[in-house]
Amino acid sequence: MSVLDIVIWPDARLTQICTPVLEITPEIEQLLADMFDTMYDAPGRGLAAPQVGRSERIFVFDAGWKTGTPTPIACVNPEIIALSDERLTGEEGCLSIPGVPMDIARAAEVTLRWTDRTGTHERLFTGAEAVIVQHEYDHLDGIVIYDRVEQDVAKDSQP
Q: In what order do the strands lie in the sheet with 73-83?
A: 46-48, 58-61, 73-83, 109-116, 119-126
Name the active-site residue from 56, 92, 109, 136: 136
Question: 27 catalytic, yes or no?
Answer: no
Strands 87-94 and 119-126: unpaired
Instruction: Write out pLDDT tens, residues 70-95.
Output: 999 999 999 999 999 999 999 999 99
Q: What is the pTM of this model?
A: 0.92
What CATH number labels 12-156? 3.90.45.10
Q: In the prediction, which pLDDT does 149 show? A: 84
Could you tell me if 71 and 62 are in contact, meaning their C-beta atoms sit under 8 angstroms apart? yes
Residue 64 has pLDDT above 50, yes or no: yes
